[in-house]
Chains A and B, each alone.
Chain A
Amino acid sequence: MEILVCVKRVPDTEENEIELNSEGNDIERDDLVYSVNEWDNYAVEEAIQLVDEHGGSVTVVTVGDEESEEVLRREMAMGAEKGILVSDDSFENADGKGIATILKSIVEKGNYDLILTGAQGDAGAAEVGGMLAALLDLPYASLVNKIEVTGDTGLKVGREVEGGDQEMNEISLPCVLSIQTGINEPRYVGIRGIRKVASVEIPTLSASDLGLAADSVGAGAAKIKKVDYFLPDLGEGAEMLEGSTDEIIEKLVEMLKAKGGLQ
């Protein structure tokens, strides 16, 4: 089974406090630690497990700048055989459809049975997988938390739906799936693993390599434009307890007693 996994380099927002830049048109990115989008990492692990069991190979692709190569190497250290970096200045400010259009041209250059994306990225749009499938006229399932190979032409996939229930579907290959976290336990990648793939060549493809007109996917084609970033209105917000830990705990215990929090 030939599998393509689409990944993205994103700031690690769990470990970082997000601040705005002085212009308010982006977050302050200088001090952020970047890594692979968490959902994408589960997708790569799932692809590797499928290939381990059923044969084939895993290719990881990302659309981004030079620095995105580190994310490809990390995923190759996990077990993806090939990496493809797609990079072009004209891609700047592409919207979801623009990214999906770029990825479509990558899919068409290969011969993939299965294309995986993370269920969502740092912008929380959860859109690229579904758009890519529609552009390719392939079947799609989102929020996938189980994949079972049922034959040469199909899969049985579980989707995570409301209430923790799992919606089971049959889907024909080739298809596009967006992967939910928790589907597997992604393997650990150590420095040694990354060193092993440090010298593997990763081709960089530009818009012209993919036959994409410069204005077909970037800012000019985007129907969605971010105007600015701002910090959400906190409204009333929480009453913040301050002081020494002892003082805070004393206040908190009183409140908990009043609210029925101590049974």
Chain B
Amino acid sequence: MAQIFAYIVHKGGVADDSALELITAAKKIDAGANVTAIVAGSGADLDKVCNEMTESYKEVYKINSEAMAYPNAEVIRKALVNILPADCICLIPHNTFGMDMGPGLSIKMDSAYVSDVVAIEGIEGSTLKVIRQEFGGQVSTHVDCDISSGAIVTVRPGPFPPDESKGAGGQVVDKSGDIGDISAKRKYLETVLQEAGDVDITKSDVLVSVGRGIEDEENIELAKELAEAMGADVSCSRPIVDAKWLDKSRQVGTSGQTVKPKVYMAMGISGSFQHLGGIKGSPFIVAVNKNPKAPIFQVADVGIIADILEFMPELTEVLNESK
């Protein structure tokens, strides 16, 4: 059985939620696996995360370098190529870091690469059997991955519940001396924080959230009118911000805001996992969409198959009349 590693993403001395989800994923590959955590970083933050991980992982590889104070994918990839044994399976969260590092790591390790895995069915011989999604989550696919020369697997945040069992009593193994040449042609400068907008949607109890189904900038008005009738705020999915129809501060999703409303009205939103990743706290989700196969209907509490351009004004009218 190939050795399994889990790459721990962390920030400010705290491990990302994915750190414990990867244990669950690893156990789907091999129920008896002794998974090794890899934590790269520098200083006190690194030690804090390593110690935290010893509660959940039997073995924690610590990679300490000034150059890793910020997780530069090129720097960390070079170190991992020197530290990871050939033919291992390395799990990485499918987030903005995993997407940045994973593909190149697989090339340099000469390993298979399978990304954004949502389920793992196990191993048969040298084949790892996983499930992925395509076409924005509308279709799933069984994928066979040849792991005879190892595999880099990026795991979607969310579908694998965190392994909270703790009590692993793990050891930290300092691998900092094995990183080799980590000089890079890409240098991290700074992080520019998202500017606050006129409305803080993270504090809203009710959101009328619009997606591609709004079709045209002038139709945003329909969402604003509905929001006003409901006493809600307007938020949106990524395409609306890409089109510059609403400010980025109103975007719900992993690359936007994380919201925790009581009620979430998904209007013409297909429901990509990046969008759903920004909705927390189990709100009551109402989805209105023309496409009966839109993935949003899998997660919504209530679904209505309709054109939002017709449905929203009618709902607005009924609400205004009853006032």
Contacts and interface: CB of A to CB of B under 8 A. Distances in A.
Interface string A133-176: 11100111111000000000000101111111111111110010
Interface of A: 11, 13-14, 17-18, 20, 27, 96-97, 100, 119, 122-131, 133-135, 138-143, 156, 158-172, 175, 181-182, 185, 223-232, 234-235, 237-241, 245, 248-250, 252-253, 255-256, 259-263
B193 A13 contact: no
B93 to A, nearest CB: 11
Contacts of B314: 245, 249
B190 A168 contact: yes
B135 A163 contact: no
Given A223-B112, A224-B145, A164 B230 contact: no
A165 B134 CA distance: 26
B102 interface: yes
Closest 6 pairs (CB-CB, A-B):
A263-B231, A130-B103, A238-B303, A261-B263, A164-B194, A134-B107
Contact of A241 (B184, B263, B303): B303
A227 B108 CA distance: 26
B138 A127 contact: no
B114 interface: yes
B193 A230 contact: no
Contacts of B189: 156, 168-170
B255 A160 contact: yes
Nearest to B232: A263
Contacts of B141: 226-230
Given A126-B115, A139-B186, A252-B302, A134 B254 contact: no
B165 to A, nearest CB: 25
A249 B171 CA distance: 59
B256 A164 contact: yes
18 contacts: A97-B107, A125-B116, A130-B99, A140-B104, A163-B257, A171-B186, A172-B186, A185-B244, A223-B145, A224-B146, A230-B142, A241-B303, A245-B310, A256-B230, A260-B205, A261-B206, A262-B230, A263-B205
B74 interface: yes
Contacts of A232: 133, 137, 139-140, 295, 298
B231 A124 contact: no
Interface in B173-192: 184-192
Contacts of B256: 163-164
A170 B135 contact: no
Contacts of B135: 11, 13, 18, 27, 122, 124
Contacts of B221: none
Interface string B190-201: 111110000000
B205 to A, nearest CB: 7
A185 to B, nearest CB: 7
Contact of A237 (B137, B241, B263, B298): B298
Given A232-B133, A249-B318, A256-B263, A169 B311 contact: no
Contact of A130 (B104, B255, B284, B302): B104
B213 to A, nearest CB: 9
B248 interface: yes
Contacts of B143: 224-227
Contacts of A169: 72, 186-189
B241 to A, nearest CB: 6
Nearest to A250: B318
A229 B140 contact: yes
Contacts of B248: 164
A139 B133 contact: no
A163 B193 CA distance: 8
B191 A224 contact: no
B99 A143 contact: yes
Contacts of A164: 194, 248-249, 251, 255-257
